[in-house]
Structure 1
């Protein structure tokens, strides 16, 4: 059986599958209770407003993983970068190089688009992912702390 890995960009009709992958990732990260996204919001933001993109990794036409990413911008580099929001591979396909292949595909997209970098966040407790990223040559941005304003606090600040 041919098990060649292929990639494809998500289409509107994939919104249910995208949401499933998001929820699977959230469950793995012990954050499922924080997922409020639904198919309607994903359709609006991914496809109508085109604020993010999704690629699927496929084996024999079956989606076995996904990456959701968007452009950010570096003022120091003077060019866009790619920010990887989510990467997920189904458990039964892990340890076979598919995660690395997804990151390689994202690096190719970044280079094709003349982006200056590819970056993402990783949970501090996820040592297996940290080790994997370091093995690829990724560097931890230990000098930086992520800050977030959301929900009621965002509403208050916007007043």
Structure 2
């Protein structure tokens, strides 16, 4: 966990420092001064001490920077987050997704339900359209029946009016005689 991550970080850093320091070998360093051979051994030892000191200082700086920035605490939080991930059937843990990835995965997972919902809404709308068409047809039929009844009532009213007038005239005619 935390200890392993810190060791890996330190190892990677130390390897990088060693690679940088190794870019100038002891022999190349000594050759660069063009000194007599008897001084080469002292120069080689100075090179070794300097590289050892640089390596030690770089690792000490790494530890200091790690402490200042709370790397141990951050790695601890990462370990706890990693431990909280659900276990998969194969014993591994679920991958941690970035917020954007999570949103995409949720969206993708919701697509089948959305499609079913859209299809259900389309079916409901189609059914409503069919029911509406049937109601429109029934309304047109009822309108025609109502118009026929209105025309018949109008005709009856006219006939009734004529009959009433004829009765009035007949009664008036009987009174006059």
TM-score normalized by the length of structure 2: 0.17
**Structure having the higher Rg:** 2
With CA pairs under 8 Å and 6+ residues apart, which has the higher RCO, 1 or 2? 2
Greater helix proportion: 2
Q: Is the strand fraction higher in 1 or 2?
A: 1
